[in-house]
Amino acid sequence: MSGRQMVEHVEKLGMIVRESHPFGDVLGHDAAHAVLMTWYRNNASHAFALPSLIACLLVNRRRRIRLSQLMQMVTAVYPYLQSELYLDSMDLDVEVSHWLDHLATQGLIRRSDDEVGPPPVESNESYRLMLLAQIVMQNLAKKPSDINLHIAATEANLELGDALARTGRAADARAAWSRGLAAIDSLARTRHLIDHMALQAAALMRLDRVDEARPLVADLVQRGYRRPRWIAIARAKHLLPAS
């Protein structure tokens, strides 16, 4: 079933409403069905918790990582999701391998014998991987003590915001970037580590909070931070010289 067919089916069930606007139709829920949809969301969280976690750990990477590294991260994070969502115990080695095969078949990840990584950033598959990551993103953001989860939540929300911005959904993009900033802000302010500060600055720049980003950018550049995409955003916001 295609995405369009899914929407048509849900419309026939009376679970979404359509409003016509000059810029295109808007789909949404009335108050009663909005509450009902939380049940569906909960079901989706349970059914797709593990593949969504895998998506969270891969979606923002520019290079492939070893399967052993991915398994180490999944093993560290999954017990939290298991307790949060009351998930059954499972053989993670078997289940992760199964989902990696399925995600690779769908084109959502790139896999070799001992490495795995995301699809090209500008591809439809990358956007779909971001959407999959969003399923458990709220659950991961609830755990304030786990630094890796905060970083994963920030990276995924920044990428999701970028994808939404490219499709003209400015308000949704700002909401995603704001979630990314909320996930990393206090961590960056207290620990002062380069990677945390870079994510904080990246979120601020996307939100056009340039005055707040300026001292962070200056500090990071002085400390040798030179990731090309980050530098490009800083230049686009006129926080660094053009060349």
Each residue's pLDDT tens digit, 1-56: 787 898 888 888 888 888 887 888 888 887 777 777 877 778 888 899 999 999 98
Cα–Cα distance measured from residue 183 to residue 178, given in angstroms and rounded to the nearest whole number: 9
Q: What is the pLDDT of residue 212?
A: 93
User: Which whole number is the average pLDDT over 117-145?
Assistant: 82
Q: Do 237 and 213 form a contact (C-beta atoms < 8 A)? A: yes
Q: What is the pLDDT of residue 215?
A: 93
Would the pLDDT of 242 be above 60? Answer: yes
Q: Decide: residue 113, CB within 10 A, 0-12 exposed, 13-18 middle, 19+ buried.
A: exposed
Percent with pLDDT over 90 in the chain:
34
Partnered with residue 66 across adjacent β-strands are 115
Write down the domain spans for the chain: 144-243
Q: What is the pLDDT of residue 145?
A: 53
**What are the C-alpha distances in Å from 150 to residues 155, 186, 187?**
9, 10, 8
Q: 178: closest CA among 147, 214, 152, 209?
A: 209
Q: What is the pTM of this model?
A: 0.57
179-237 pLDDT tens trace: 889 888 888 887 788 889 999 999 999 999 999 999 999 999 998 888 888 999 999 99
Residue 75 — very low, low, confident or very high, per pLDDT cuts 50/70/90?
Answer: confident
Q: What is the pLDDT of residue 140?
A: 73
117-128 pLDDT tens trace: 999 988 999 989
Q: What is the pLDDT of residue 23?
A: 80
